Amino acid sequence: MTNKSNHIPGRANEFTDLVRETLGQSPDIIYREIILGCKPALIIYIEGLGDPHEMLEAIHQDMPLYLEKQEQAAEELLKLLKERTITLGKIGEVKTLTELEAKILSGNTIVYIDGLDKALYVGTEALKQRGVEEATSQSVVRGPREGFTESLRENTALVRRRIQSRKLQLEERIIGDNTNTQVAIMYMQGLCDNEVLNKLRDRLDQIRLDSVLESNYIEEMIQDQTYSPFPTVYNSERPDVIASELLEGRIAIFVEGTPFVLVVPALFAQFFQSSEDYYQRGDFSSLVRLLRYLCFGIALLTPSFYIAITTFHQEMLPTNLLISLIGQREGVPFPAFVEALIMEITFEILREAGIRLPKSIGQSVSIVGTLVIGQAAVEAGLVSAAMVIVVSITAISNFALPSFNVGISTRVLRFALMGIGASFGLYGMIIALIILGLHLCSLESMGVPYMTSFAPFRWKSQKDVMLRLSQRTKKKYLNLLASYNKNGPEI
């Protein structure tokens, strides 16, 4: 609201005109005039966001019982409403027009009594939310099925149900000049690094955005490296994952309106871990986790190594395999790089089409399209059968990665490495991998080295990195960040 004094006027007619002038005459903004005792009063709420019917019924039934006199002072009426009549969970006073506007737009109901320079707000939010459903982006065979929703308060409650400790702390702030989006950070007091926590607070307080509609708006503003293919902020829509991250000393960031919760600091090894690793036997989980690292290497390097070997280093192949590849490539009009580029781009198109199409036909179209196009391309002589195999195993390996963000990074880097392999062969590939390793070692997430436990290598930290050892070897949750806390124990 725009008012020079920013104070609530003490007359009902002035207050009504001011609110109508600011909020407008939208049909969903309800202005209801009532009489409390002998004082005019005004109730304001937004239909759909607030549901004050229970509150109005309580006022209608209970207020006459407390009004012994015909006339009551406005201050006494306000006190009766607060202490005896309105028994809803959240109630308070607003003394400025800015606060009043924020409360109305967030779904609260405003009760104003003539003669007062303040008003009551009552928590009557009634916006219908999607119920708790199974997480779709991080599915598991064994483990909880609950996933976050678009309600911030419901999401924090899902985590609190798993961590019933007084150490679990929650802080909230409003970000977005136009959207006034509620953002909350959650952490375990005593486990969380105070230096990391203060750095996150500073970065959140420095955000200046017109709107925040999803957690990615926050992620882009708090990440350490803007121009890096690797994500330095982790996200999940599973309450059990966020609970385990909090118990390891990390900080969770909840944003109203999205089921994806951010986690900082994020480590490279974290993106290869799945919640299901802790719901299966340690030996089996270790084998699966090693398989994920192998899949990452296959998805990243297979096309570029194939291009480099078939273009520059044919002598590295066995004679029978080389003869077979030459026979397959006979009649193919494109070099290996262009051949791989055509197949990769075609597969990316099919992947995006499968996501955008309706669920009932999206999966069928993507599978049938891949099979039909691949077979037709081989029969038409546009690509070789070996290239179809290479691209297929690359795509399948990419899907085996538990984090969607790392999958995107792998896809981006794969095209760059394909060009390097086609231009400089294996020598260029080796140099590119060295540069990539140096880049990974230079990254940080909230000041914590991205490659923690790998570089520098710590043997005692390997209980839950490449392998997942038995729970008997850990008396409590392993905190990989503790060695970087000045007051924490050395790992």
Q: What is the pLDDT of residues 245-269, one digit of tens each?
A: 999 889 999 999 899 999 999 999 8
Quick one: pLDDT at residue 476? 44
Asked whether the beta carbons of 123 and 108 are under 8 A apart, the reply is yes
- Return the minimum-mean-pLDDT range out of 28-42, 91-105, 476-490: 476-490
Asked whether the beta carbons of 103 and 110 are under 8 A apart, the reply is yes
Q: In terms of DSSP bridges, do strands 181-188 and 234-236 run parallel, antiparallel, or are they unpaired?
A: unpaired
Q: Give the separation between CA 455 and CA 464, rounded to whole angstroms.
A: 15
Measured CA distances, 351 to 144, 223, 240, 295 (Å): 28, 28, 29, 18
Quick one: pLDDT at residue 490? 40
State the virtual CA torsion across 203, 208, 210, 212 in degrees, nearest 10: 0
Asked whether the beta carbons of 74 and 115 are under 8 A apart, the reply is yes
Across all residues in the chain, what is the average pLDDT? 82
Q: Is the pLDDT of residue 234 over 80?
A: yes
The packing angle between helices 215-222 and 194-205, to 10°, is 110
pLDDT in tens, 56-93: 776 666 555 445 544 567 777 777 777 767 766 678 88
Q: Give the separation between CA 466 and CA 451, rounded to whole angstroms.
A: 12
Q: Give the separation between CA 274 and CA 351, rounded to whole angstroms.
A: 23
Quick one: pLDDT at residue 201? 93
Structure token pair of residue 462: 């390997």
Average pLDDT of the segment spanning 434-448: 91
Quick one: pLDDT at residue 475? 47
Query: Which residues have a Cβ under 8 Å from the Cβ of 133 and sit 6 or more positions away?
Result: 147, 149
Q: Give the separation between CA 473 and CA 489, rounded to whole angstroms.
A: 18
Nearest to 234 by CA among 188, 189, 269, 199: 269
Asked whether the beta carbons of 445 and 224 are under 8 A apart, the reply is yes
- Return the minimum-mean-pLDDT range out of 4-8, 60-64, 231-235, 313-317: 60-64
Quick one: pLDDT at residue 422? 92
Average pLDDT of the segment spanning 28-45: 80
Average pLDDT of the segment spanning 334-339: 87
Q: Where are the alpha helices (DSSP H) in 313-358?
A: 319-329, 336-356
pLDDT in tens, 98-109: 888 888 888 888
Quick one: pLDDT at residue 359? 67
Quick one: pLDDT at residue 484? 53
Residue 321 burial by CB count (10 A; 0-12/13-18/19+): exposed, middle or buried? exposed
Quick one: pLDDT at residue 438? 93
- Tell me which H or E stretch contains 396: helix 385-399
Domain definitions of the chain by residue range: 12-123, 152-266, 282-449
Quick one: pLDDT at residue 399? 87
The pTM for the full model equals 0.81
DSSP, collapsed to helix, strand or coil, labels residue 263 as: strand
Q: Is the pLDDT of residue 120 over 60?
A: yes
pLDDT tier, 477 (very low <50, low <70, confident <90, very high otherwise)? very low
Average pLDDT of the segment spanning 145-169: 90
Q: Is the pLDDT of residue 447 over 60?
A: yes
